[in-house]
Amino acid sequence: MTAPAPIRRIVIVGGGTAGWMAAAALARLIPAGVSVTLVESEEIGTVGVGEATIPPIRNFNALLGLDERDFLSRTQGTIKLGIAFVDWTREGHRYVHPFGEFGFDVEGVKFHQIWRKLHAEGRAREIDAYNVCALAMAAGRYQPPVADPGSILSRMAYAYQFDASLYAKYLRAHAERRGVVRVEGKVAQVPLRAGDGFIEAVVLEGDRRVEGELFLDCTGFRALLIEQALGAGWESWAHWLQCDRAVAVPSASPGPEITPFTRSTAHRAGWQWRIPLQHRVGNGHVYCSADISDDAACETLLANLDGAPLRDPFLLRFEAGRRKRAWHRNCVALGLSSGFLEPLESTSIHLIQSGIHRLMALLPDSGFSPVERDEYNRLTDAQMEQVRDFVILHYHANERQDGDLWRRVREMAIPETLRRKLDLFRGRGRFFRHEDELFAESSWIAVLLGQGVIPAGWDPLADGLDENKLATSFERIHEMFARAARAMPRHEEWLARNAPAGTTA
Ligand SMILES: Cc1cc2nc3c(=O)[nH]c(=O)nc-3n(C[C@H](O)[C@H](O)[C@H](O)COP(=O)(O)OP(=O)(O)OC[C@H]3O[C@@H](n4cnc5c(N)ncnc54)[C@H](O)[C@@H]3O)c2cc1C
């Protein structure tokens, strides 16, 4: 029996972040002889938001061989050490989700377990005091991590905040240099093959036809191929994630300081993001349209900016949920066409990245093995559900007294998978990461504790350790971490010295 022939033509439809990330990665990884064509329409444009990321984006950029400083400089990029959550747990409360690890485990006992015990006895500070990223966030400072595990700086992790349209442009140049062909035009028809219903080609206005064997749907919320042409189906999660609109606006930077983190502030009917870039600040108010009008949401956004708005606010509508099959027939949906979770933990760009990695690991030949397709869909589903649960946690575990939204999400039935995690943590602070789960234990612990989910007890193994010694070493850890944070340059100074906007070749 001869093996099915390899795929020779890949067509990407859509030139937003998803389309150009896919094009750049394919250009880097696909064997010679396979053509990659990207179709996009300038007239339609892109979603125009999406500026904050999480640490794995560094692996994606490294895979492409991008120079970090050049990338930061070309995308007005800044460093993100975590997210500050303001008023989420209750009004007047603040906590951070830093990217780095908390403290050090002792004799196999988790750091947060020992912390819980000492904290209950008044012998430990708040948990942020033992995280070097949290301390650097508070000080507005940054220094790259080092690989040496003996150094405190090895406990750091970071991501980026950047102008997404500049990132797409940057990746476009990268992809085109490596042979990706860009076609400008609006897709008007998607003819399907008789028999198996596979996509045969996309036909642009003016009748230009672009044929392919594998199609990547990167058309954003339109989901032109995966849904409009193939009807892969949609599973709504709007009953859990009830926000369905956002108004966004860039504003002027309030001063020379550039905070190395994203801020998320809860409001009566949603929350507002603040993402500092080198040349401006990105802002948006994500809200539930059942609880506030668009005009009032806009007023809230504008009233909570710390610099002058640089344009009129623009409105985005969405629904939380996922495509029932992200890979259907010969089409794989990446980006907003595959599903959407609100940007609370900045996960959308990461979901594009992990979709690309999965596709590369399961790249089909012309036989389009259903087993490989099903594995892709299974892994995609699992990851979306894990991220969904993490985002729901922020809403569900709240004590806010204003607004109907907060009461509804507090009282709603949550997914069983999240319920199990919460119950386990509430008992003795136990946490287990499941099958390639995106967010590390330290992220879950930061948000669980931050949202006021305090374990009733702790791991009994912590009782076997010398408490006095632990209390002393906790203080030493804090002092070491705080000293390391204080010694870092201010974030804006580091940027000015290493990656000032628009200065690299
Ligand atoms: C309010 C909000 C805030 C967000 N914030 C973040 C964040 O902080 N971090 C993060 O990781 N993600 C964020 N996201 C998600 C992020 O914006 C997207 O994941 C990312 O931009 C990818 O979008 P996309 O490429 O899938 O779609 P789009 O940017 O919408 O691109 C779609 C492309 O398809 C093309 N197209 C559509 N129809 C046709 C047609 N008929 N013919 C030809 N071309 C066509 C368009 O021209 C465009 O090029 C946010 C999303 C929203 C809604």
Q: What is the pLDDT of residues 25-44, one digit of tens each?
A: 999 999 989 999 999 999 99
**Is any ligand 1 atom within 6 A of the Cβ of residue 16?**
yes
CA dihedral 241, 245, 251, 255 (to 10 degrees): -20
Of 368, 400, 424, which one is at a domain's C-terminal end? Answer: 368
Q: What would the mean pLDDT of 250-258 be, rounded to a whole number?
A: 96
Question: What CATH number should be reported for the domain holding residue 351?
Answer: 3.50.50.60
Residues 151, 109 within the same domain: yes
Euclidean distance between CA atoms 4 and 16, whole angstroms: 32
Number of the ligand 1 atom closest to the C-alpha atom of 43: 47
Of 353, 368, 383, which one is at a domain's C-terminal end? Answer: 368
- For ligand 1, atom 27, the nearest C-alpha belongs to 220
Residues 191, 146 within the same domain: no
Query: Is a pLDDT exceeding 90 seen at residue 434?
Result: no
Establish if 417 belongs to a structural domain.
yes
> What's the CA angle centered on 95, arms 94 and 96, to 5 degrees?
135
The reported pLDDT for the residue numbered 134 is: 98
Nearest to 265, CA basis, from 288, 285, 241: 285
The reported pLDDT for the residue numbered 490 is: 98
Residues 334, 477 within the same domain: no
Establish if 465 belongs to a structural domain.
yes
Label residue 301 by pLDDT band (50, 70, 90): very high
The reported pLDDT for the residue numbered 1 is: 66
The reported pLDDT for the residue numbered 7 is: 97
Euclidean distance between CA atoms 82 and 79, whole angstroms: 9
Number of the ligand 1 atom closest to the C-alpha atom of 49: 17
**Is any ligand 1 atom within 6 A of the Cβ of residue 272?**
no
Distance of CA 347 to the CA centre of its chain: 2
**Is any ligand 1 atom within 6 A of the Cβ of residue 48?**
no
- For ligand 1, atom 35, the nearest C-alpha belongs to 14
Query: Best mutation site among 11, 20, 49 for ligand 1, i.e. most ligand atoms within 8 A of its Cβ?
Result: 49
**Is any ligand 1 atom within 6 A of the Cβ of residue 15?**
yes
Nearest to 377, CA basis, from 417, 332, 342, 418: 332
The reported pLDDT for the residue numbered 110 is: 97
Percentage of the chain lying above the pLDDT 70 cut = 99
Q: Check: CB of residue 80 under 8 Å from CB of residue 70.
A: no
Tell me how far the alpha carbon of residue 137 lies from the centroid of ligand 1, in angstroms. Answer: 29
Residues 14, 143 within the same domain: no
Query: Is a pLDDT exceeding 90 seen at residue 505?
Result: no
**Is any ligand 1 atom within 6 A of the Cβ of residue 284?**
yes
The reported pLDDT for the residue numbered 503 is: 60
Number of the ligand 1 atom closest to the C-alpha atom of 14: 34
Query: Is a pLDDT exceeding 90 seen at residue 2?
Result: no
**Is any ligand 1 atom within 6 A of the Cβ of residue 283?**
no
Residues 399, 475 within the same domain: yes
Residues 217, 116 within the same domain: no
Q: What would the mean pLDDT of 158-177 be, rounded to a whole number?
A: 96
Q: Check: CB of residue 496 under 8 Å from CB of residue 164.
A: no
Q: What would the mean pLDDT of 455-462 be, rounded to a whole number?
A: 97
Residues 47, 190 within the same domain: yes
469 assigned to active site = no
Nearest to 283, CA basis, from 299, 301, 261: 301
pLDDT tens digits, 189-234: 999 999 999 999 999 999 999 999 999 999 999 999 999 999 999 9
Total count of domains within the chain: 2
Residues 116, 147 within the same domain: yes
Burial class (CB in 10 A: 0-12, 13-18, 19+), 489: middle
Residues 487, 422 within the same domain: yes
Binding site annotation covers 18?
A: yes
- For ligand 1, atom 50, the nearest C-alpha belongs to 50
Establish if 113 belongs to a structural domain.
yes
Query: Is a pLDDT exceeding 60 seen at residue 109?
Result: yes
